[in-house]
């Protein structure tokens, strides 16, 4: 069937930090840095997409087998249309999941900032109260 489909486009990959060795001409500072976690995630994504493409093609062949009277060209067109629709749907599912993950991450970051601000206010209040209580006896006796 017309070759492999392209995997979904990269979704706002974070810029990678360079490793510094302090030596001029070191390939680790001259070229792009390698982030093993990011590379593993990319490999996992690639393998997952290839598995989806294979499953879509397999299911397209199984679907086309239901119509034995189709001419070879019509069968190939049906398989390609089925595969394209399935992969388009899979990409939409991935896009929705990525959007949901980003929304949750933003929500959790905001909640974390709120909790940290509350703790900072509480700690400052306790420190202020302790300082006030420590200074109060000296002020009353003096």
pLDDT tens digit sequence for 114-140: 999 999 999 999 999 999 998 888 778
Distance CA(72)–CA(59), nearest Å, equals 17
The CA distance from 129 to 137, in Å, is 13
Alpha helices in 11-142 (DSSP H): 27-30, 36-64, 72-141
Q: Where are the domains of the chain?
A: 30-109
Cβ atoms of residues 82 and 59 within 8 Å: yes
Output the pLDDT for position 15: 47
pLDDT recorded at residue 18 = 46
Assessment of whether the complete model's pTM goes beyond 0.75: no
Confidence bin at 29 (pLDDT 50/70/90): low
In a 10 Å sphere around its CB, with 0-12 CB exposed, 13-18 middle and 19+ buried, how is residue 111 labelled?
exposed
Q: What is the mean pLDDT of residues 84-108?
A: 96
Q: Does the pLDDT at position 30 exceed 90?
A: no
Two tokens, residue 40: 């593993």
């Amino acid at each position: 069937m017309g070759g492999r489909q392209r995997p979904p486009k990269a979704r706002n990959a974070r810029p990678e930090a360079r490793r510094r060795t302090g030596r001029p001409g070191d390939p680790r500072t001259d070229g792009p840095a390698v982030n093993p976690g990011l590379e593993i995630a990319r490999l996992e994504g690639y393998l997952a997409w290839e598995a989806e493409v294979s499953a879509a093609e397999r299911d397209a062949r199984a679907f086309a087998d239901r119509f034995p009277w189709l001419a070879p060209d019509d069968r190939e067109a049906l398989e390609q249309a089925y595969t394209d629709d399935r992969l388009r749907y899979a990409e939409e599912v991935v896009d929705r999941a990525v959007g949901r993950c980003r929304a949750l991450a933003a929500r959790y970051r905001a909640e974390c900032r709120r909790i940290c601000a509350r703790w900072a206010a509480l700690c400052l209040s306790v420190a202020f109260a302790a300082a006030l209580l420590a200074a109060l006896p000296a002020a009353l006796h003096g």
